[in-house]
Structure 1
Amino acid sequence: MQRRGVKRTLLPLALLAGLGLSACTTGAAAGGGDAPADGELSLAGKTIGVAVVSTQTFWDREAFQGAVDEVERLGGVVVPTDGNRDNTLHAENHDIFLSQQVDAVITILGDDSVEPKLEAISEAGIPVFGVDRASEHVVNNAQSNSTEAGEAIASIMGEQLGGEGKVAVFNAFSETLTFCGERYNSWKDKMTADYPDVELLTPELAEEFANAPEDARQQTLTLLERYPEGELDAIHVACWDQPAIGVVQALEEAGRTEVKVTAIDAGPDTLEIMMEPDSPFVGNVAQQPREIGKVSADNVAKHLAGEDVEAESFVETYPVDGAAGAEEVYAKLGYDKQ
């Protein structure tokens, strides 16, 4: 098993030079996958822009690659951009799609700085599809059910705590990213309703986006000074799980592994941490980001073929409860074969 702190790239990426500002094309014209059979969806002759805020984390890479691979499999050509974990750059990258007059755009993550770009693209007659990017300007948003994920992780945390204890929360993005807000609000509502003896500590913590694990590690060390042993029972990362890597590191450094950690996303890196002996990381919710990207590309093909597409598409998630649950989901999602 690969240990934490060792970053692995599971899949080759069609990335851009110059921090994502230079456009390139991949796809059927450049040696893409097998063309679809007669009667299947097709993007033959279509050029699709695929913009992702980052390819530095597993979720982001997988969602991006899932969209790229499916566009290529359906015979389309991809114009990819990578925001390099910079939301402003991610937004600016969408100008490439307007200048090249692509046939459709898949936009992956990002904050509201991208909204004016999506509006301009839509007004130019280019349909936009979101991956975890809710917007009035998208035809469809492919995603996990964030409300269900929040409720699932609340149940895991509540049971892991035996229904009582004090919980600190990392919650940087619930007011700026729709899916983060849904995860946080559903988690908090269920914790409050079903586990009234669990105290949610205030003020909440806010992790940085660009360097989340290290920032969360440092904030956790400070938090542990404020709450000595016996005064803090758990830490929850409300929106994603990359900060949880740093939280676990801080707990181990401080000898405070009695404090339990929960989060949402559960890629192979964080599942591996959960599987380590006596890991404080006890709860997570696994998504299928590659499948979400694929669904988005399929929705593009349906729309361009004149089919009706629902406003939202949901891909199944898997609650992860403890080390045994991590092992089960790790195998179920095929990470043990990579």
Structure 2
Amino acid sequence: MSSIQKAIVAGVIATFAAPALADGHLSLEGKTIGVAVVGTQHFWDREAFNGATSTVEELGGTVVPVDGGRDNQVHADNHDILLNNGVDAVISILGDGAVEPKFEALQEAGIPVFTVDHPSPFAINNTTSDNYYMGTTIGRYMADAIGGEGKVAVFNAFEGALRICGIRTGLWKYVLQDYPNIEIIQPELAEEFANAPENARIQTLDLLSQYPEGELDAIHVGCWDQPAIGVVQALEETGRTDVLVTALDGGPDTLEIMAEDGSPFVANVAQQPNVIGSTSAMNVARHFAGEELLPQTYVDVVPVNGQAEAIAAYEQLGYGSLE
């Protein structure tokens, strides 16, 4: 974790902990906290996991980590391990509907569940970015970038499978209803999670063969931004950098691409996954301190519109300097 990221986490701890610390109550000392993550291959997942585990330890707790290897069923079954270990609470990061019966079993055993990017009726609290804001913001940025008209392709594999993806892509589509001259090309594209950049590159090359120069204006990745890496590669390989790219997540690798001169990658919304994970761990401590939590805790995002904002966001988020 960079010094800037540590400072951000310290600020989160100070913000959420100050009232309880004054009374000496906010601590995870003596508590064992299970942290289940769907996988750590992707930057976002790994950073959320690191934020949660490091903050539990900073507050004196013991972490029992389990990693699903990006297999949703393995991730769900890992909650059985935490249940059998008798942890005091569980932080669960991402996952699909397979985790719900596991959450219910934990709840019935008296083990409180705290989720990250996965609202659940069996969770005390879900910590997340404002996915509604993310979807509407990237919709406006993309529409403005292509002058409010043209043909747009979308990579949208997970709208029906993951609630956060449904919100983000659904709100992007909702914004585009205000632009009757923007057409979403059918059928929509479906990226694979495994090796997403290469999979998206191959699909983009095929798409470009169907839509010659002047017949395609933008490509949007509806839920995250790793496929956008491959999309940009395909555009650069074919000299089609007039086709603009937008996506969501704003990790360091994609912000670096946006910061390049002449990049077709023009808009993104950067999240703070490390802070999200840290905030979830803080909410566990607040719960044990007797505080009543709201069902949702939202962590700020950083809209990124164009090269200059990509450079600024990269530094603001603690990834270093691109200048």
TM-score, normalising length: structure 2: 0.91
> Cα deviation per residue 1:180-217 (whole Å; 9 max; x = unaligned)?
11101111101112x22111111101111222111111
> Cα deviation per residue 1:77-99 (whole Å; 9 max; x = unaligned)?
00001111111211111111011
> Cα deviation per residue 1:108-144 (whole Å; 9 max; x = unaligned)?
0111122221111111111100100111111110000
Following superposition, the deviation at residue 267 of structure 1 comes to 0.8
Q: Which residue of 1 aligns with 2:166?
A: 181
Q: Which residue of 2 aligns with 1:155?
A: 140
Q: Which residue of 2 aligns with 1:90?
A: 75
Asked if 1 retains the 8 angstrom alpha-carbon contact of 2:26 and 2:288, the reply is no
Q: Map residues 110-149 of structure 1 onto 2, 5 A cutoff.
A: 110-149=95-134
| CA gap 1:10/1:111 in 2 versus in 1, 3 angstroms | farther
**Secondary structure of the structure 1 residue equivalent to 2:172:** helix
Asked if 1 retains the 8 angstrom alpha-carbon contact of 2:246 and 2:265, the reply is yes
Following superposition, the deviation at residue 10 of structure 1 comes to 7.6
Paired amino acid for 2:259: M
Q: Which residue of 1 aligns with 2:285?
A: 301
| CA gap 1:186/1:133 in 2 versus in 1, 3 angstroms | same
**Secondary structure of the structure 2 residue equivalent to 1:335:** coil
Q: Which residue of 1 aligns with 2:61?
A: 76
CA–CA distance in 2 between the matches of 1:241 and 1:156?
15
Moved over 6 A (4+): none
* 1:245 equivalenced with 2:236 (yes/no): no
Q: Which residue of 2 aligns with 1:56?
A: 41
CA–CA distance in 1 between the matches of 2:133 and 2:114?
22
CA–CA distance in 1 between the matches of 2:317 and 2:195?
27
Q: Which residue of 1 aligns with 2:191?
A: 207
Asked if 2 retains the 8 angstrom alpha-carbon contact of 1:86 and 1:210, the reply is no
* 1:197 equivalenced with 2:181 (yes/no): yes
Q: Equivalent of 2:90, from 71, 91, 105? A: 105
Asked if 2 retains the 8 angstrom alpha-carbon contact of 1:104 and 1:127, the reply is yes
Following superposition, the deviation at residue 37 of structure 1 comes to 8.1
* 1:291 equivalenced with 2:302 (yes/no): no
Of Structure 1 and Structure 2, which has the larger fraction of its residues in helix? 2
**Secondary structure of the structure 1 residue equivalent to 2:266:** strand
CA–CA distance in 2 between the matches of 1:209 and 1:123?
33
Q: Which residue of 2 aligns with 1:20?
A: none
CA–CA distance in 1 between the matches of 2:321 and 2:307?
18
> Cα deviation per residue 1:16-37 (whole Å; 9 max; x = unaligned)?
xxxxxxxxxxxxxxxxxxxx78
Q: Map residues 9-20 of structure 1 onto 2, 5 A cutoff.
A: none
Q: Map residues 15-54 of structure 1 onto 2, 5 A cutoff.
A: 39=24, 41-54=26-39
Q: Which residue of 2 aligns with 1:335?
A: 319
Following superposition, the deviation at residue 323 of structure 1 comes to 0.8
| CA gap 1:329/1:273 in 2 versus in 1, 3 angstroms | same
> Cα deviation per residue 1:253-303 (whole Å; 9 max; x = unaligned)?
122111100000001110001111211111100011111111100111111
**Secondary structure of the structure 1 residue equivalent to 2:177:** helix
TM-score, normalising length: structure 1: 0.87
Q: Say how many residue pairs are matched.
A: 305
CA–CA distance in 2 between the matches of 1:337 and 1:121?
44
| CA gap 1:273/1:337 in 2 versus in 1, 3 angstroms | closer
Paired amino acid for 1:224: L
Asked if 2 retains the 8 angstrom alpha-carbon contact of 1:50 and 1:78, the reply is yes
Paired amino acid for 1:66: G
* 1:172 equivalenced with 2:157 (yes/no): yes
> Cα deviation per residue 1:156-192 (whole Å; 9 max; x = unaligned)?
1111101111100011111111111110111110111
Following superposition, the deviation at residue 146 of structure 1 comes to 0.3
Following superposition, the deviation at residue 307 of structure 1 comes to 1.4
Paired amino acid for 1:145: D
Q: CA RMSD of the aligned region, Å? A: 1.7
Q: Which residue of 1 aligns with 2:200?
A: 216
